[in-house]
Structure 1
Amino acid sequence: MRVPGTKGVDRVMPKPIREGNGPRHVAIIMDGNGRWAQRRGRPRLFGHHAGAKRVREIVEACPDLGVRYVTIFAFSTENWRRTQSEVAGLMSLFRRYITKEARALFEENVRVRFIGDRVRLDKKLVSLMDELEFMTSGCTGVNLTIAINYGGRDEVARATRRLAQDVAAGKLDPDAVNEETLPKYLDTCVLPDPDLVIRTSGEARISNFLLWQSAYAEYEFIDTLWPDFCAEEFGRLVTAYGNRERRYGGVKA
């Protein structure tokens, strides 16, 4: 098959994995945009723009690979520490991306959700996020979740606060709180936990991403910088997952 975004170059994608044998939900830490740009003598924002173009290619590859959910880490709670110009550029990129891609995502039947704390985001961006979520709310294809101003610890803290408020209001019995209860208060409450987490750029850390949800996820840390990450490589990682033995703390009989 022709890989989207390869400008007419035919590449062989790995064959789709067997039904029920591959990852249903893949989460991606899209790292390496800045380094990709700097190696080309360009500003970091040039790399972020290049990286944004890769998202569509990966989402388009999901159906053939049996991936129903894909969650991408776009901006963390720690990313506010970057230079003011880079943060402003990223926020502008998010607004532009949503405006440009909204119709295509809808027409491709992609359901879009955003996770993270929206309080610090500007009102225009939040409005665009709300509009895109509403526009695609009836879509039944790939579920794309975009994490903006997201941090795993922050998410758990916010969820715990909401849970405590329900306990204080008498809506929830404290004795009923267990590991099945907290996920109902997380940003990802309507999503299955990720089966596979991919991080690009050669860094081998999880950077505060989906801490609760990834307790039993498989991880792939690859050297490829995000703007160079293509559907072909994505397919190889998804297919490799299907060959792993998943025991969840048990042993094979």
Structure 2
Amino acid sequence: YAAVYLAIGLGTTSPIGVPGEQLQGVRDAVDFIAELRQTANLATLPVGRRVVVIGGGMTAVDAAVQSKLLGADEVHMVYRRGPDEMGASLAEREWAQTHGVVLHHWLAPEAVLGDAAGQVSGVRFAQQQLVDGRLQPTGVLQTLAADTVLKAVGQKLDTLVLAGAGLALQGGRVLADDDGRTAVPGLYVGGDCRFGGRDLTVEAVEDGKRAARAIHAQLSATTSAATA
């Protein structure tokens, strides 16, 4: 191909990195939402009675609200910092609360708890505070009962193949100029996987438009040179 445009998003969900993460009933919020979107009959989609969503962005809000709409008795959305630092906007947080989602701040997961059968039974959190700009535990612990835990602590790009292809990476994403040109001639990138992107749909669309114009200019110049 004379040009290729990559818009592969961020497919891999970051782990929460605590004991018990492998227990049954613990899953990625992104996978949960994807399954929800692809299920024709939502009545067949299982959801726990007590759901804990770990994260503070729109994915966490979406997973929490959908869990409540699917019939969960309790849904808790837990974030390790304060409300002003959440990725979800105030309107999104209020939307979650109007659906019965309980928001918690300044709580970082310490361990996912389970029963003898290997099923999740709750999450233990450590209360946090800011000390010299860094999060530090206060020594206070809090446990939330749960039979479903949804992880929404961010996504990351699987960079192994991309680095092997010669692409320059920064911050776990692909470096490109404003038109999406990468370090590999003819290879363009846009959307969430581009370094500097803000994970917004409108920005991803604009990335595609800019790259399309740049690719058109590249191919037009190549054609003109070949016929000269």
TM exceeds 0.5? no
* TM-score under structure 1 length normalisation: 0.27
Give the structure with the higher percent helix.
1
Q: Please tell me whether Structure 1 or Structure 2 has the larger radius of gyration of its CA atoms.
A: 2
Of Structure 1 and Structure 2, which has the larger fraction of its residues in strand?
Answer: 2
Tell me: higher relative CO, structure 1 or 2? Use CA pairs within 8 A at least 6 residues apart. 1
